[in-house]
Structure formats: C-alpha cells, structure tokens
Amino acid sequence: MVDVAHSIQQDPVGSTQSVTVTVTGAAGQIGYATVFRAAAGALLGSGTPVRLRLLEIPEAARAAEGVAMELQDAAMPLLESVDVFDDPTAAFDGSEVGLLIGARPRSKGMERADLLAANAGIFSVQGQAINNGAAENFRAVVVGNPANTNALIAASHAPDVPAERFTALTRLDHHRAQAQLALACEVTVNDVDGVAIWGNHSASQFVDLSRATVKGNPAEEVLAERGLDRKWIDEFFIPKVANRGAEIIEVRGGSSVASAAHATLRHIRTWLRGTEEGRWTSMAVPSTGVHGVPQGVVSSFPVFCQDGDHRIVEPWEIDDFARERIERSLAELVEERQAVEQLGLLGPRA
Ligand SMILES: NC(=O)C1=CN([C@@H]2O[C@H](COP(=O)(O)OP(=O)(O)OC[C@H]3O[C@@H](n4cnc5c(N)ncnc54)[C@H](O)[C@@H]3O)[C@@H](O)[C@H]2O)C=CC1
Ligand SMILES: O=C([O-])CC(=O)C(=O)O
C-alpha cells in the first residue's frame, strides 16, 4: 500500500489517490468544524481526494447523517465519499487517518476518576477497532480530553499498530503560544518561531520560550527589552497560554471549536508533509525516553516531522526552571496513567 505521507508529498500536482479518514464525534462542535475543511483540502492538500467516515454514538448518529447530507450539499470536488457509522469496528475498517475528537465531557458532579473511566471505555474500544481493521499506514490524533491519556489508552489496545502512530493534540497550545508571543512583541505570528509545549494538554503544561525567536532574535531578550522579564513569562505568559481554553469558555460562552479544528487539521498535515528545515512544532507523542520523560508516556514535545514520521527534538538543555515545570506536568500524566491502570483499563501493550 502507498503510504499516505508519501502520496500527499506530491500535492498539488501529483497523487490523486484518495485517503480514508475516520472522524469520531463528527456531529459534535469540533467535528462539524473539521469535516468541511478536511473535505476542502485543508487536511491532506488540494490534490488528494478524501473518503470520510463519520463515527458517532447511536444517539447522535442521526445528527451525523445530517452532517453527511450537508457535506453532500457542498458538492466538494475532493470529497469522494462520506459514510456514517455508530460502530467503531466498521468506522475504522481500512482507515488511514483517525481524528479522534469524540469524548465524554465532564458532567455535573462527575469525579475525575469517573471521567477517566468513561473515556477509557471509549478509547479502548476504538483502539481495538483500529487494531483489527485500520490500514497498515494508519495514524491518529486524539483531540478528546484528557487527550494525552486517551491516546495512551487507544495505543495500549492496539498492540499491532506502532505506538508512535497514536498522538494527541497540543498544536492548539503551540498556536496559542505563538500568538501570545507575537502580541506581546507587537509583531505578527510570521515573525515568531521556536515555541514549544511540554507535558500534558492541561493547565499543567509547560510553555517553553527558551529557544523561541522573534524576527530571528532570542524571544526572552526581545521581551526583556520591552520590560517583560522571566517573572512576567512565569507569572503571566505561561498561565495565559495554559489557561486559554478556560478563558475562551468564559468569554465566548463555549469551548474552543474553530481554533481546535484548525489545530487538528494542521497537526495531521504537518505530520504527513513534514516540518520546514530546522523548525519544529509541538505534538504529544509516546516518549522514547528522552529529555527525562519516561518511555511510553504520551507527552507533548517539540518535534520534527519528515516522511510521515515524527522525531522528538534533541539534544536540548533544560534548565532547572523548565525541568521543575516539565516534571509537574509529567507527574499529572503519570497519575492519570496510574488511575486508568488501577481501573484495569489499559490494554495488552501496557
Ligand atoms: N486537545 C485539545 O486541544 C482540545 C480538546 N478538546 C476536546 O475535544 C472534545 C470534543 O469537543 P467538542 O466537539 O466541543 O465536544 P462536543 O460535545 O460538541 O462533541 C463531542 C461529540 O463526540 C461524540 N461522542 C462521544 N462519545 C463518542 C464515541 N464513543 N464515539 C464517537 N463519538 C462520540 C458526542 O456524541 C458528540 O457529538 C472534548 O473532549 C474537548 O474537551 C477541545 C478543545 C481543544
Ligand atoms: O477543556 C476543553 O474542552 C477545551 C480545551 O481543551 C482547550 O481549549 O484547550
């Protein structure tokens, strides 16, 4: 089988081979915002037709049918087919790209352990379905929260699929860091580079500016010239980015949707097409044991992408300040993993 990554390298002139994409939670907010842009070329490029497979829970399958009807009504040239499923095994059969967006939200009075257990139920079943029937070149991004741990659970139930094919979304956090840095320096995002997100997609994440640049100059020096010191980075910038999701909920009256859909599309696109020479992005991927992050923990890192693979950026000297912050987020990830493990919900790979 031709690898998706190789087939889309040739866009927009080359491959017309279509790619099968499974979107879970397709009738939800982020799903709805994602599928139209995926069908318009934002996921795989304007030369690659897409076969969409929309997965929903039975109660929302009719709504997903409505989304499929609208996709048909848009008469998008790249949309080869759209099908709706309420059975994960059928939805992932032959799938090459999985956008795992659907998840169980926290409801009133729900304890954290209950949330983890409810989502472990979802992602273990999906992991098994992927193991049974997804294409050999399958790659997934988990968006549904708690995204890192959900990716770990899915991978643990798919022992025949390389673990590194299961990733979680921290590209939205990466974008938020780029945007906030640009705002602080009164430049555009085109002028900033080298931000990195470490750890969990949660408020504990570490937003790292140590290698970031603004118009090619070290970001920390540019900020210092503007009177914004390390204390400002620690006490204002990092919490601003890490708590941006909550801020959006408060101001917009609903969680991030379009920005999350955009980040999801960019995550896959960058993974398949590669990062630019010498420039990294942030993705949550299973640790290879580098940077002091225990092997297998699905943590956000700065990564390079090439030929459909991701590679954690190294070597990277981490100072005491950064180390302490990364450890804090890792401790949360380890705690989440232990909670799922104690519930007996990790699969055979774990
Ligand atoms: N990693 C990130 O950067 C971000 C993650 N999120 C998370 O993304 C997830 C989706 O957010 P929204 O679309 O706003 O939520 P939503 O509630 O509008 O949609 C979720 C959809 O998932 C479906 N679903 C639930 N269980 C499913 C299952 N087992 N199989 C298939 N579909 C299932 C629901 O029926 C619903 O239609 C949430 O968990 C949210 O916390 C949101 C923003 C950013
Ligand atoms: O908590 C949520 O559902 C939203 C979220 O992850 C974010 O905006 O980063």
Q: Tell me the per-residue pLDDT of 93-149, one tens digit each, with 9 for 90 and over.
A: 999 999 999 998 877 777 777 888 999 999 999 999 999 999 999 999 999 999 999
Enumerate residues lining ligand 1, CB below 6 A.
24-25, 27-31, 55-57, 60, 101-105, 122, 143-145, 147, 169, 172, 201, 255-257, 260
Percentage of the chain exceeding pLDDT 70:
95
Decide if pLDDT at 8 tops 60: no
145 is in an annotated binding site: yes
Decide if pLDDT at 297 tops 90: yes
How confident is the model over 49-62, as a mean pLDDT? 98
27 CA to middle of ligand 1, Å? 9
7 CA to middle of ligand 2, Å? 32
25 is in an annotated binding site: yes
Is 201 assigned a catalytic role? yes
Neighbouring residues of 90: CB distance < 8 A, sequence distance ≥ 6: none
31 is in an annotated binding site: yes
| Helix/strand number for the chain, H first, E second | 13, 14
How confident is the model over 4-16, as a mean pLDDT? 52
How confident is the model over 1-27, as a mean pLDDT? 71
Neighbouring residues of 75: CB distance < 8 A, sequence distance ≥ 6: none
146 CA to middle of ligand 2, Å? 9
Tell the residue nearest (CA) to atom 29 of ligand 1: 122
Task: Out of 3-7, 65-69, 103-107, 275-279, pick the least confident.
Answer: 3-7
CATH classification code of 171-336: 3.90.110.10
How buried is residue 231: exposed, middle or buried, by Cβ count under 10 Å (0-12/13-18/19+)? Answer: exposed
Residue from 256, 257, 259, 267 whose mutation best tests the ligand 2 pocket (most atoms within 8 A of CB): 256
pLDDT digits (tens, 9 = 90+) for 325-338: 999 999 999 999 99
Please, which pLDDT band fits residue 286 given cuts at 50, 70 and 90?
very high
> What pLDDT is recorded for position 15?
57
Please, which pLDDT band fits residue 14 given cuts at 50, 70 and 90?
very low
Q: Which of 174, 175, 201, 291 is catalytic?
A: 201
256 CA to middle of ligand 2, Å? 6
> What pLDDT is recorded for position 307?
94
> What is the chain's mean pLDDT, rounded?
94
Give the ligand with the smallest distance to the CA of 34. 1
Domain spanning 4-168: CATH superfamily = NAD(P)-binding Rossmann-like Domain (3.40.50.720)
Percentage of the chain exceeding pLDDT 90:
87
Neighbouring residues of 284: CB distance < 8 A, sequence distance ≥ 6: 147, 148, 151, 167, 168, 169, 170, 200, 201, 298, 299, 300, 301
Decide if pLDDT at 348 tops 90: yes
Tell the residue nearest (CA) to atom 8 of ligand 2: 245
The closest alpha carbon to 54, from 25, 74, 94, belongs to: 25
Q: Any idea where the domains of the chain sit in the sequence? A: 4-168, 171-336
216 is in an annotated binding site: no
246 CA to middle of ligand 2, Å? 7
pLDDT digits (tens, 9 = 90+) for 185-244: 999 999 999 999 999 999 999 999 999 999 999 999 999 999 999 999 999 999 999 999
Residue predicted with more confidence, 114 or 90: 90
Tell the residue nearest (CA) to atom 4 of ligand 1: 143
